[in-house]
Amino acid sequence: MNGLVFVTLNIPGSNNNLGRTAEMDREHARRMAANFDWLDEAVAQAEARDALGLVIFVQANPGFDGNPRRRPGAPDGFLEFRKVLAMHADWLRKPILFVHGDTHRFRVDQPLIDPKTGLPFSHFTRLEVDGSPFVNWARVTVDPGSAELFRIQRGQVPF
């Protein structure tokens, strides 16, 4: 839409449904394989169409700074997802807006680290939206003429 590619992925909180039961671990593996296929397709579309950028929506906070919400001894349910995001950010080299909820803390940052340099990908921006009990809205403006494609404004209830 208007030069952007949008993709939604099924990435739930609670450690991405990994590390509780064998059945949940199998669900995690099947769902993540489908998510990775869907994300691969979105990145391919963004590249083929010479899109301005890519917007990714998920529910969970994937723990860019580690995954403190997992159970002791459980594997990190988001580790492979973060690696795949970094691989695609390295490949695409276009602005990526990653939107999630889950931990209910509004923030805008560049948390995805390039494993080659150890520095954040400057073209990967995370928007974590507010959540209960602090419900609010965020406005994202797309400006193709700006150095930063996505401009993010935190709302003030009511709108």
Instruction: Kindly report, residue by residue over 102-120, the tens digit of the pLDDT.
Output: 888 899 999 999 999 999 9
How confident is the model at residue 104, as a pLDDT?
Answer: 85
How confident is the model at residue 106, as a pLDDT?
Answer: 93
Question: Which phi and psi (to 5°) does residue 76 adopt?
Answer: -75, 110
Strands 150-154 and 138-142: antiparallel
How confident is the model at residue 60, as a pLDDT?
Answer: 94
Instruction: Specify the DSSP element, H or E, that contains 140.
Output: strand 138-142
**Averaged pLDDT, 110-137:** 93
Q: How far is CA 70 from CA 17, 18, 60, 74, in A?
A: 10, 9, 12, 6
Amino acid at 31: R
How confident is the model at residue 12, as a pLDDT?
Answer: 94
How confident is the model at residue 71, as a pLDDT?
Answer: 72
Buried b / exposed e along 44-63 (16+ C-beta atoms within 10 A): eebeeeebbbbbbebebbbb
**Averaged pLDDT, 67-90:** 87
- Whose structure tokens read 């406005």? 139
Most confident of 97-101, 102-106, 151-155: 97-101
Question: Quick one: tokens of 18?
Answer: 């990994």
**Averaged pLDDT, 24-44:** 97
**CA-angle at 132, arms to 130 and 138, nearest 5°:** 25
